[in-house]
Chain A
Amino acid sequence: MVDIIRTQEGEYEVIKIIGEVDASSSIELDNAISEAVSGGGKKFLVDCTSLDYISSAGLGVFMSYIEEFKKQDIHLILFGLNKKVANVFEILGLDQLLNIEENKEEAQAKLG
């Protein structure tokens, strides 16, 4: 079960993930990112402070956008991952390939 809330905050959009992203709910995350990007925005923050769990299906969603975002100069930064969720990214080394920051302030600063 996952809820996704999209909020425009000035020049960037915040995508807040609430709940668990697994094989049954990852499609909702995928749809939300896809819709957000189709609006033409270039700067996104993904608020993971209420993300309780992520499996490979959720990781796969983020990985599938890396190339497209590079080509289109889209910046997406995740922040607020709890220890268990962060560990899942680290097991694969994805923390080195995605932009992940500790908190919203640091994510905003990185977004520029």
Chain B
Amino acid sequence: MKYCYKVPCQKEMLREIRSFVKDVLDKHGLSEEDISTLVLAIDEVCANLIIHTHKCNASDSIELEIKFKKNKEVIFSIIDKAEMFNINQYEEPTLDEIIKRRRKGGVGLILVKRIMDDIQITTDQKKHICRLSKKI
């Protein structure tokens, strides 16, 4: 089963993205805790793309696909025409560094890496895909 959602790059759409992910995961009987952490991870990746890559340009869009594998794995693919930052190469700042510098950002990708089992960035026919998987 595959679910797809295409959204314009507006911060206000993050709420819709969360609602879409929650509805899909609800249908597949995941625990409330799993649903809430997976919704959070997808929100973080999408917020990153919408704000940093697309500068909230509403004429741009990103696509989200959710697939359930027979081996009890859920795979989220976030598809973007723009090149993606490779989360796997992200050097995590420590919480102390973030606090001392009084930074307001910097923990979103740490959350994503802690929640997901695997993250792959691939490029396919001018599309860049961030594939995040989680055993359920």
A residues adjacent to B (C-beta < 8 A): 1, 20, 22-24, 26, 30, 53, 55-57, 59-61, 63-68, 83-84, 87-88, 91-94, 97
Q: Known contacts A92-B95, A94-B95: does B104 contact A63 (CB below 8 Å)?
A: yes
Contact residues of A: prevailing secondary structure: helix
A87-B36 CB under 8 A given contacts A60-B106, A92-B95: yes
Which listed residue, B36, B37, B104, touches A60 by the CB 8 Å rule?
B104
Q: Which of B18, B37, B98, B105 contacts A57 (CB 8 A)?
A: B105
A to B CB contacts below 8 Å, 18 in the list: A20-B15, A22-B18, A23-B14, A23-B51, A55-B14, A56-B105, A56-B108, A57-B47, A64-B103, A64-B104, A65-B102, A67-B99, A87-B36, A88-B40, A92-B107, A92-B114, A94-B95, A97-B99
Q: Bound state CA distance, A1 and B33, in angstroms?
A: 22
Interface size range of chain B in the complex: 20 to 34
Q: Does B91 contact A (CB under 8 A)?
A: no
CB contacts (< 8 Å) of A23 on chain B: these are 11, 14, 43, 47, 50-51
Question: What does the 1/0 interface line of B87-111 toward A look like (CB < 8 Å)?
Answer: 0000000010011101111111011
Using A55-B14, A55-B43, A63-B103 as known contacts, list a sample of 19 further A-B pairs with CB atoms less than 8 Å apart, ordered by residue number in A: A20-B15, A23-B43, A24-B14, A26-B104, A53-B18, A56-B110, A57-B105, A59-B107, A60-B104, A60-B107, A63-B95, A64-B102, A67-B100, A67-B102, A87-B37, A92-B107, A92-B110, A92-B114, A97-B95
